[in-house]
Amino acid sequence: MIQREPLKVLIVDDEWIIRDGLKSFPWQEFDCQVVGEAEDGAEGMLHAKVLKPDIILSDIKMAGMDGLTFASEIKTLDPDVEIILLTGYDNFQFAQTAIKTGIYDYLLKPTNFQEMKQVISKLSEKIWQHRERILRINDLSSKYAKSLPLLTGKLASDLLYGRMNGPEDMMRKLSLFDIRIESYITISARLNTDSLKPEDDHLDDWMIDFGIDNICSELFSRSCTRVLSSPGRYAYDYLLLFPSSAQEFDIQALCMKICERIQKAVKDFVNTDICFGVSRLSHDTNKINLAHQQASQACQRGYYFDRSSILFALDLESNGQAQIDLSDT
């Protein structure tokens, strides 16, 4: 429940006795407060622009700008404002027609306060329910925005480690995050913990992982359409998305340069090396897990021989070493 400040009411009528009578209505019973009054539609427009009322009571028949014209212009100015028309019996049919054009309701003059209480009670509750719904939506949006890195990290992990319940589940989750996969590679990285210096002890494990993942995600994101990361303890996995027109040779060359930049940045950050394994390019979303295995295998082999290596699965294939098949057939 949101804190209820009084709803602001504007009264527009060319008869002062009607305005005074409406001001004497027990507005406080409905969390409402009269904030202004006007003698005609033109003056009412000025008040509406300045006071930003929630509810407007307007006579339907006034000199100059009539109530319907006034209501139409007000709705253009602020679609959320609620308008109640005041009408005599001679304009009764006219007022009924106005309901279809966005007017909330009408009241007959002279106004019956019992009838008015029913209308204002329903209208004020409608406004508060709308505000509370908007507040809940904004709250959910805020929580979603704050949770988005965790949610996308979970999605990346599920994709890379094959924790999807089939192609339909995968497509549904990708759609939720507005992710379209045309072509991709996966990259696995592993930090050389053997050479972490004692002077780096002031950095907690989570700070090191957080910092390195930020470095990798930032530099990778400059050269692909989207990067999804799944960081772990001194080990980091990435899914890099590219347009369908991307060529594997160009991507491999680009990745080599980026990985070299990351290695330099990591060296500056924690004074140790980081090793990379890079998969083949693929277009098949059903083989993301296989691509991850390919990158992980390359990373493990590279780490065993050289803690600062950048090893491509394509290189392993060229050397006749068995590799996981990522062909789209």
Q: pLDDT category, 285, cuts 50, 70, 90?
A: very high
Taking the C-alpha atoms of residue 210 and residue 139, their distance in angstroms, rounded to an integer, is: 27
Provide the pLDDT for residue 72: 86
Q: How far apart are CA 4 and CA 256, in angstroms?
A: 59
The token pair that represents 4 in the structure block: 């209820």
> Is the pTM of the predicted complex or chain greater than 0.95?
no
- What residues are paired with 276 via a beta bridge? 189, 310
pLDDT exceeds 60 at position 315: yes
pLDDT of residue 193: 87
pLDDT digit string (tens) for 6-52?
999 999 998 899 999 999 999 999 999 999 999 988 999 999 999 99
Half-sphere exposure of 155 (CA within 13 A, CB side): 20
Tens-digit pLDDT profile for residues 64-117: 787 888 888 998 889 999 999 888 766 656 656 666 667 898 888 888 899 999
The H or E element containing residue 172 is helix 167-176
Q: Is the pLDDT of residue 198 over 50?
A: no
Per-residue exposure over 279-293, b if at least 16 CB sit within 10 Å of its own CB, e if not: bbbbeebebbbbbbb
